[in-house]
């Protein structure tokens, strides 16, 4: 087989996969143990035929794939891949650019400059904000915290890049209990530690209590502070009250960070944009292209208002990959050296969608989430725990014997087994709930109807 035949065969498998998503079980059909048997073998002494390797990979991996690329996957908040973005992503792998610098990847440097500026404009962020294309929100948080650490300590006469944190003035982070766990790892990685986090009270949908935040800022006011806010709470999709919290934090000289992994995209929609009022006053923002924008994975974006603090934490020079002055040099903003050209898929998707196209995805997903949560909540014995603010909601199922948690888990498991749709479980406010996230560009009215029908069946199967 020629290389061209090999690549065509792979493309044919990819296209067949996408075209059969309609009829595939949404969950995996093989267990991890079965997958290990299918894929496992002794490390081969000599190489195998490439065509055979790819054929086997397709056969042995497919039973272990979740159909999250399709329209009936409502677990976590994952999103699919727009065909335009996927096409650009294929080319990204093909072109094999090392996106570290503008010397190693000139086209990618320029594409990032353009796509980052488009995203910044669409998200309503300050035009002077710097940005980086990172793996995801997790590394976006690390990048933003490094910039925050730089500025907060520089203001206290401490050069953290040279001296590290040992002996440095302390930094604390004010957050709510509903924060995504990636905050904890970001705090670990930048050397602040999870002990630096102080939790501030929140309301029933997870929004930070403004009076409690004011009180927390007053206490130990001399300590350098990062206020961690959310645009789209993980379970409920709730937005912090930026218009009240940002000025409050600013008046205390705190750095405000916004975790908008999925929710920041609401800025594209005239209907939902009000949720982000005041968020442009923050110091750093993180979002994922691989969630609501529906780019393939490995596509987070971080923005920093104080570009000098951002650059001060990352820029370096070398003698062997000298960037061209006056053009964006990716490594000055990113935590990585060698990496994939993440800008190409973002550029292609944003161009193909335009502001109206992104708004349309956001508004369709929100409308689907609303219909799904309300329809599921109206099933016999069901209850809406959180109505969608945007594309997220929570439902639970009551049991005659009072063990609602058990019945809710049983119904979630039953739906996953049926394979028509996929929802996950979680604990919210001490109760087991079914999470409903609609984040895929391709979800249709028919997908929503199929999802409601399969949950209705599961509810009937799992007796009260
Ligand atoms: C998904 C998510 C993250 C983590 O993002 P990754 O892209 O997985 O690193 C952080 N915060 C929130 C609110 C999320 O939904």
CB of 265 closer than 8 Å to CB of 292: yes
pLDDT of residue 318: 77
What Å distances lie between residue 267 and 68, 117, 260, 287, 442, CA to CA?
24, 15, 10, 12, 20
d(C-alpha 235, C-alpha 241), whole Å: 17
Kindly tell me the number of DSSP H helices and DSSP E strands found in the chain.
14, 11
Cα torsion 83, 89, 94, 99 to 10°: value is 160
| pLDDT computed for residue 195 by the predictor | 97
Identify the residue whose C-alpha is closest to ligand 1 atom 7.
Answer: 136
Ligand 1 binding pocket, CB closer than 6 Å: 77, 136-138, 180, 182, 232, 234, 259, 261-262, 288, 300
Percent of the chain scored above 90 by pLDDT? 96
DSSP 89-120: HHHHHHHT--TTSTTT-HHHHHHHHHHHHHHH
- Note whether 114 and 351 are within 8 A (CB): no
3-state secondary structure of 198: strand
Pocket probe mutation, ligand 1, options 135, 136, 296, 365, max atoms within 8 Å of Cβ? 136
How much distance in Å is there from the Cα of 303 to the middle of ligand 1? 15
Q: Which residue CA neighbors atom 1 of ligand 1 most closely?
A: 261
Inter-CA distances, 226 with 116, 178, 231, 266, Å: 24, 16, 16, 24
For residue 464, count other CB atoms closer than 10 A to its CB: 11
- How many other CB atoms are there within 10 angstroms of residue 120's CB atom? 19
CA of 234 to the centre of ligand 1 (A): 8
pLDDT recorded at residue 323: 78
Joined tokens for residue 261: 């992994």
Regions of the chain with pLDDT less than 50: none
pLDDT for 135 equals: 98
Structure tokens at 16: 């067949």
Predicted pLDDT at 316 = 83
Task: Report how far residue 130's alpha carbon sits from residue 114's, in angstroms, rounded to the nearest whole number.
Answer: 12
Residue 256 — φ and ψ, nearest 5°? -105, 125
Kindly tell me the burial class for residue 319, based on how many C-beta atoms sit within 10 Å of its own C-beta (0-12, 13-18, 19 or more). Answer: exposed
- Give me the pLDDT at residue 60, please: 97
Q: Residue 222's pLDDT is what?
A: 93
Identify any residues that bridge with 173 across adjacent strands, giving them in sequence order.
197, 226
pTM of the model: 0.97
d(CA 366, CA 432): 23
Residue pLDDT, tens place only, 385-400: 999 999 999 999 999 9
Cα 456 to middle of ligand 1, angstroms: 30
């Amino acid at each position: 087989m020629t290389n061209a035949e090999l690549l065509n065969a792979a493309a044919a498998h990819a296209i067949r996969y996408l075209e059969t998503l309609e009829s595939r079980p949404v969950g995996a059909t093989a267990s991890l143990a079965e997958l290990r048997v299918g894929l496992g073998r002794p490390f081969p002494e000599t190489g195998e035929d490439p065509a055979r390797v790819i054929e086997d990979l397709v056969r042995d991996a497919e039973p272990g794939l979740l159909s999250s690329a399709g329209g009936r996957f409502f677990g976590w908040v994952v999103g699919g891949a727009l065909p335009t973005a996927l096409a650009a992503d294929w080319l990204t792998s093909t072109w094999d650019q090392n996106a570290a610098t503008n010397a190693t990847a000139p086209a990618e440097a320029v594409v990032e400059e353009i796509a980052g500026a488009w995203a910044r404009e669409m998200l309503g962020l300050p035009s002077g904000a710097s940005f980086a294309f990172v793996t995801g929100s997790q590394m976006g948080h690390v990048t933003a915290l490094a910039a925050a650490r730089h500025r907060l300590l520089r203001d206290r006469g401490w050069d953290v890049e040279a001296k590290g944190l040992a002996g440095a003035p302390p930094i604390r982070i004010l957050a709510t209990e509903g924060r995504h766990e990636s905050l904890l790892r970001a705090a670990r990685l930048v050397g602040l530690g999870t002990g630096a986090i102080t939790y501030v009270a929140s309301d029933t949908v997870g929004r930070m209590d403004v009076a409690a935040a004011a009180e927390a800022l007053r206490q130990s006011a001399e300590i350098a502070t990062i206020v961690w806010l959310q645009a789209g709470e993980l379970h409920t999709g709730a937005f912090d009250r930026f218009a009240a919290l940002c000025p409050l934090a600013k008046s205390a000289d705190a750095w405000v960070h916004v975790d908008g992994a999925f929710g920041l995209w609401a800025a594209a929609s005239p209907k939902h944009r009000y949720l982000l009022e005041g968020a442009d006053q923050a110091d750093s923002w993180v979002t994922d292209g691989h969630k609501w924008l529906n780019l393939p994975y490995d596509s987070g974006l971080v923005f920093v208002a104080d570009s000098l603090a951002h650059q001060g934490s990352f820029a370096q020079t070398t003698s062997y990959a000298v960037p061209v002055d006056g053009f964006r040099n990716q490594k000055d903003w990113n935590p990585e050296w060698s990496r994939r050209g993440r800008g190409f898929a973002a550029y292609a998707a944003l161009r193909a969608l335009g502001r109206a196209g992104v708004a349309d995805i956001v508004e369709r997903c929100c409308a689907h989430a609303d219909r799904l949560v309300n329809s599921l909540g109206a099933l016999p014995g069901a209850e809406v725990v959180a109505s969608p603010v945007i594309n997220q909601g929570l439902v639970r199922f009551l049991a005659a014997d009072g063990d609602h948690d058990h019945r809710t888990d049983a119904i979630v498991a039953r739906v996953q087994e049926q394979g028509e749709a996929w929802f996950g479980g979680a604990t919210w406010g001490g109760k087991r709930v079914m999470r409903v996230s609609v984040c895929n560009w391709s979800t249709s009215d028919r997908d929503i109807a199929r999802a409601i029908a399969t949950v209705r069946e599961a509810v009937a199967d799992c007796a009260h």
